[in-house]
Structure 1
Amino acid sequence: MASSTTSDLPMSGVPAAAVRPLRPQVEATASEMVSEIQALVPEYARPAESPYGRRMHWAVEQTVRTFVDAFGQTEVAWDGVTGIYTEIGAYEARQGRSLDGLQTAIRVSGQVACRRFIKDARRLEWSLPTLGAVTETLFVFLERIASAAGQGYADARGELAGERERYRWRLRDLMIADPPASVQAIEELARNARWDLPRTLAIVAVRPGPDGDLPVLPPDLLADWHAADPYVIWPDPDGPGQERRVHALLGDLTAAIGPTVEPNRGAVSFRWARRGLALAERGLLPPKGPLRCLDHLPSLAAVGSEELIVAGLGGRLAPLMELPPHRREPLARTLLTYIENRDNAVATAERLLVHEQTVRYRVRRLEELLGSVMYDPEHRIELLLLLHYWVRLGGSAA
């Protein structure tokens, strides 16, 4: 802070002799100010003998003494007293308080000083110009120390915000670490970042739009927009209203919400969110708006085991795969829909928008090709998975 002198305060206009009798009253004045401050500002109401109480009394006394000693001086460095209030402002910021209490304390101190100056003016027979100069200087002085407190507060808030942001970055990275970090490490970082650690979370993989615009997120959501695969950490995704909230914030961006996991298992959610996003970008899942991966579990399970699925297509469904494409595709679609509708030909026909007899003909042809495997309970889930990959995801054994 640059050195500050009395050049902009009318201190030298009041003779030192006029205020010299005030010097023995400095301690009593400070005590009166502290008493009134503690009565009006609850957070400052600490025992007088406590470290906080002694520090407050010292700061007030130093302020009063600096002010009284400055009268009659042409050059007075104010750095000492403004430095005190810069530190006080910074302390208030670090305690997470506003400046309201400190501003009230400064205002109360000014009121006490004015009352005492009026009494002293009568007792010491000050002229009206002298009293006017003293009170005018007081208000300028109070503004000066309030400004110093505000600067200290702002500087500390900036530092805290930067430090908190760094903790949030570290926390964000730790929650998607693989292998997972310990719960204790995540809890500690969350406290330092002042982020309420949720019971569960989900990772949302997001693809920014072509214009590069990104949504502004509330502070309870952690995001990394600069990662190769941008993502958002979504706390308590299954809570009331969360579905509407994610859609409102992410809008029409292509995004996939991974499964809900514990806070140290974010890597699992992120892995499936990326896979869901990849399928959406290929047009195999709805491409607009956030989709929940667990709503598309068969598709993701099939893609996650693609090599095994392809091998199964060439084995279990070999007779069907050997047909020409124009014949095998309708049969594959019919078989999938038939199994999904519990072997009900009527429901299958309605789903496929074909005649019931067409479905029955195709089913008989499938029975000839596949034999008993079509109705074997041990292979039903297997057939569903293979056919889902083939029909719904456009896969093949080629």
Structure 2
Amino acid sequence: MVAPLRDRLPHVATQTIDAIMAEVPAYAEAFAGALGVKIERAVRTALGAFLGLVSRPHGPDPQSPLAPALEAAYALGRGEARSGRSLDALLGAYRVGARVSWHELAAISVATGQPAAIIAHFAELVFAYIDELSAASVAGHADELASSGRDRIRHLEQLTQALLAGQPEHLVVAAAQRADWLPPRTLTAVLVPEHAARTVVNLLDPRTLRQSEAGPDLSVLLVPDADGGSRAAMLGLLRGQAAVAGPARPWLQVKASYDRAVRTRELPELPTGTVVDSEDHLTELVLTADPQALADLRAKVLEPLSAARDISATKLAETLRSWLRHQGRREEVAADLFVHPQTVRYRMTQVRELYGDRLRDPEWITALTIAL
């Protein structure tokens, strides 16, 4: 039974390929290009393996002709995934191939006088075989998607690490290309609790990068183009989370945004359980940029008050701070301190005696304002 079929195998393969090209448009161009030779070879391999299956009715084993056909089908599935295509066209090609090859093989079987029972059994084998090839392609497609997905996740993680480490531009750009990640204009670093990171990242731009372990139970998100009017929208999406947002920076300079967010998170007396915008804390960030320098400045500009008693020095410093804030408006200072305006006048007289002309020096006024 098999010999006549094997003799006509090239003809059946040609008919099958012609039908696939006519009925599955997605493969018309593929057959015409360099991929066509591989697909044609796969068709011939599949048909040859099927004939081997027919001649070995007890089923395939690792050494049988069926194994190469299943491997080829698996590889076709992986190739479709690698090309970014679904399995619709390939499975459609299998259906067309099964129909056409069965038509041709049945005609040969009838012409050679095969009994009806044998031909019917032959049909069962054809379609069972196509099911096996389809299953192998589905497995190949799924494995390739899983593998490429893992590869991309790894590349995105490497890109995030490169950005946060402030690596040279050419290395970061190369990492972005490997990750197939389209750079935005800006990136904004956002610190969020690790347990909330997955939920939050699903609300943001799909290009958002994420790195876990930015701190104890902390993740950092790098959010694309969250500047200008988009910043308010991003902060709104973060509402209800204990998040800290750095400023938007050109994407290659996002390390500066991350560093700002980290410093903001370390500020004392920050509100808890809510979104903290680093842009609302610039004064504190500037004043705490160099704590020792601030301490030295305070010691220098407040040294004249050391001539007063401790309690008096504290009250004089408090009055001087309010006087600077309210630009010398006595009534406002008195209201701020809950004292009589005459008390303010008395204390400021003492302060002037201690500082002399320095209270008329703009540089000293600036230094006192910062220190107090």
| Distance in 2 of aligned mates of 1:59 and 1:196 | 36
Mapping 1:284-363, distance limit 5 Å? 285-320=270-305, 332=317, 335-336=320-321, 338-341=323-326, 343-344=328-329, 352=336, 354=338, 357=341, 361=345
Pairwise CA distance, 1:276: 0.8
Pick closer, same or farther for the CA change 1:176–1:125 going to 2, 3 Å.
same
Which residue is 2:210 aligned to? 223
SS in 2 for 1:194: coil
Selected match of 2:249 from 252, 261, 278: 261
Matched, 1:164 2:152: yes
Pairwise CA distance, 1:45: 2.8
* Structure 1 gap segments, 5+ residues each: 1-16, 388-398
2:341 maps to a residue whose letter is Q
Mapping 1:273-288, distance limit 5 Å? 273-279=261-267, 282-283=268-269, 285-288=270-273
Pick closer, same or farther for the CA change 1:344–1:63 going to 2, 3 Å.
farther
SS in 1 for 2:55: coil
1:337-365 CA distance string (max 9 Å, x none): 55455555566667x38478379536555
Matched, 1:384 2:372: no
| Distance in 1 of aligned mates of 2:153 and 2:226 | 23
Which residue is 1:204 aligned to? 190
Farther-moved stretch of structure 1 (115-124 vs 260-269): 115-124
* Structure 2 gap segments, 5+ residues each: none
Aligned-CA RMSD value: 3.2
| Distance in 2 of aligned mates of 1:133 and 1:94 | 37
2:259 maps to a residue whose letter is R
Which residue is 1:232 aligned to? 221
Farther-moved stretch of structure 1 (59-68 vs 234-243): 234-243
1:346-395 CA distance string (max 9 Å, x none): 66667x384783795365555454445445434444333222xxxxxxxx
| Distance in 1 of aligned mates of 2:361 and 2:238 | 47
Pairwise CA distance, 1:334: 5.3
Which residue is 1:60 aligned to? 43
Count of residue correspondences: 360
Contact residue 5 and residue 105 of structure 2 kept, 8 A = no
| Distance in 1 of aligned mates of 2:207 and 2:326 | 44
| Distance in 1 of aligned mates of 2:6 and 2:99 | 19
Which residue is 1:23 aligned to? 6
Pairwise CA distance, 1:300: 0.6
1:144 maps to a residue whose letter is E
Farther-moved stretch of structure 1 (227-236 vs 289-298): 227-236
Runs of 4+ deviating beyond 6 Å = none
Which residue is 2:76 aligned to? 88
| Distance in 2 of aligned mates of 1:20 and 1:359 | 118
| Distance in 2 of aligned mates of 1:186 and 1:356 | 63
Pairwise CA distance, 1:206: 3.9
| Distance in 1 of aligned mates of 2:368 and 2:174 | 48
Contact residue 163 and residue 172 of structure 2 kept, 8 A = yes
| Distance in 2 of aligned mates of 1:197 and 1:224 | 17
Matched, 1:252 2:241: yes
Structure 1 vs Structure 2: percent identity of aligned residues?
24
Which residue is 1:149 aligned to? 137
Contact residue 37 and residue 44 of structure 1 kept, 8 A = yes
